[in-house]
Structure 1
């Protein structure tokens, strides 16, 4: 598969970030006195991965060269990448199937009606960029400020980073926001060239200092459910379990359902 210039630049930056994260001791190398930079040197990583330092440097510089599956596996092993980061490495290198852009067809009425049927449990349907395609009243009440008066489609990424109320509603705002940003990066990596992700990432970069700080860390993540603590007016902190289901035949459309798992109170 072909690799876009954006993917090549992202691949180089991702490799640099992961090279800086692993110490020589963790990589099984002997200590050699004081080091000016943290992590592994380029030539050390190249040695561990069994390739020339020059070729690895070209890869990290984002040059138009192709890395084989064997080379990528060697780099992933040398960098001690967990499975999600290994998959992201292959995606950026153009060695994994690129997700097809979803059709622009509207959400089917029977799917849009599901969150309404789940009232009073907060529920909504989102697409791959976290645009909210359908929601029920409980979701609007649980996430105040999600639905704005500017006529734009609600979006959970914009709400999390740009809506001041989100920092009060999400009790654990920082880990929740950081995990969401990691998932956005993962999804964007699977849709190179999709302008929707580029616009979304640019908007939250402009409006959030945290995004500007966290994005260069190249964190990636997937999640299908979990637990959140949300602050509710008049009830205090309520713990919710939530589960996500992909819509049949439309893997980029996801139904998310919340259910209380604990009592209210701080």
Structure 2
């Protein structure tokens, strides 16, 4: 028969497991992954407690108590915010809610991370360009052909690998997009539609501020308040190595539509197919 003392002991163990799990997840994330500045005097591996609190919109003291295994109540909504801030994948998210003894309000939510299996799928799609993006247009992973499609993506700092930022500020990327004004207008409208669910999140606000500071064109387009939903369409890319490519663009969501997606480009004609094969050969030769 389960006694009150036994239940209390189980609860205590669960709190300590939760605290250790949160610390381990916090320490593995770099500031750049969540849109924060690293700074020059960072001694803490990964994120600081106050940064997790900021990203989750909770109090620093409250989050500190949570990592100290204090006996405090945590709502499913706060756990959801923590899971997103800590970039938990599906298994980790399930584990978080299990340790907290709470029901997940969004059990179908998927990860923003990239598993080895998904990275393997990107490789198998070669020579077709493909990447994984989140709804903020961050490029989370890509295959070798995508890495050469618009620019030398491997030469771009990881924290700058964002399609919005590249389309408005990176000269080589901009030159590759045939109808750049239309593309930037659509991207800004999609970004605004996606941001409606993330208005209070620091990473989104930081990216918006960066775009507004860096690009007068973005400021002018953003002021129109245009909104469009997801769409698949033919894209024209003028690659610096192989010339004009006509590509069918497709988004495959890896979870809810607000989550990460697999973006692929399939050649629309034989000439574009041969161009992608040459681009792939170039990427292999340059590796």
1:202 equivalent among 204, 209, 217: 209
Distance verdict in 2 for CA 1:132–1:206, change over 3 Å: same
Instruction: Give the drift of 1:206.
Output: 0.9
Between the aligned partners of 2:232 and 2:257, the Cα distance in structure 1 is: 18
**Which is worse superposed, 226-235 or 131-140?**
226-235
Deviation per residue, 1:41-71 (Å, 9 max, x gap): xxxxxxxxxxxxxxxxxxxxxxxxxxxxxxx
2:250 equivalent among 243, 255, 266: 243
TM-score, normalised on structure 1? 0.58
Between the aligned partners of 1:148 and 1:132, the Cα distance in structure 2 is: 14
Within-5 A mapping of 1:10-49:
none
Between the aligned partners of 2:166 and 2:152, the Cα distance in structure 1 is: 7
1:112 equivalent among 106, 119, 133: 119
2:138 maps to 1:138 = no
Task: Count residues with an aligned counterpart.
Answer: 166
Deviation per residue, 1:159-194 (Å, 9 max, x gap): 111101122100100000110011111111122201
Between the aligned partners of 2:237 and 2:142, the Cα distance in structure 1 is: 18
2:220 equivalent among 182, 194, 213: 213
Give the gaps of 5 or more residues in structure 2.
1-79, 89-112, 276-287
Between the aligned partners of 1:114 and 1:122, the Cα distance in structure 2 is: 12
Within-5 A mapping of 1:71-150:
103=84, 104-105=87-88, 106-150=113-157
Between the aligned partners of 1:115 and 1:250, the Cα distance in structure 2 is: 20
The equivalent residue for 1:166 is 173
Distance verdict in 2 for CA 1:149–1:184, change over 3 Å: closer
Instruction: Give the drift of 1:152.
Output: 2.2
Which structure has greater helix proportion?
2
Deviation per residue, 1:192-229 (Å, 9 max, x gap): 20111111111111111111111110000112311110
The equivalent residue for 1:185 is 192
Between the aligned partners of 1:158 and 1:228, the Cα distance in structure 2 is: 19
Q: Is the 8 A contact 1:145 1:159 kept in 2?
A: no
Q: Is the 8 A contact 1:148 1:154 kept in 2?
A: no
Moved over 6 A (4+): none
Give the gaps of 5 or more residues in structure 1.
1-99
Within-5 A mapping of 1:36-75:
none
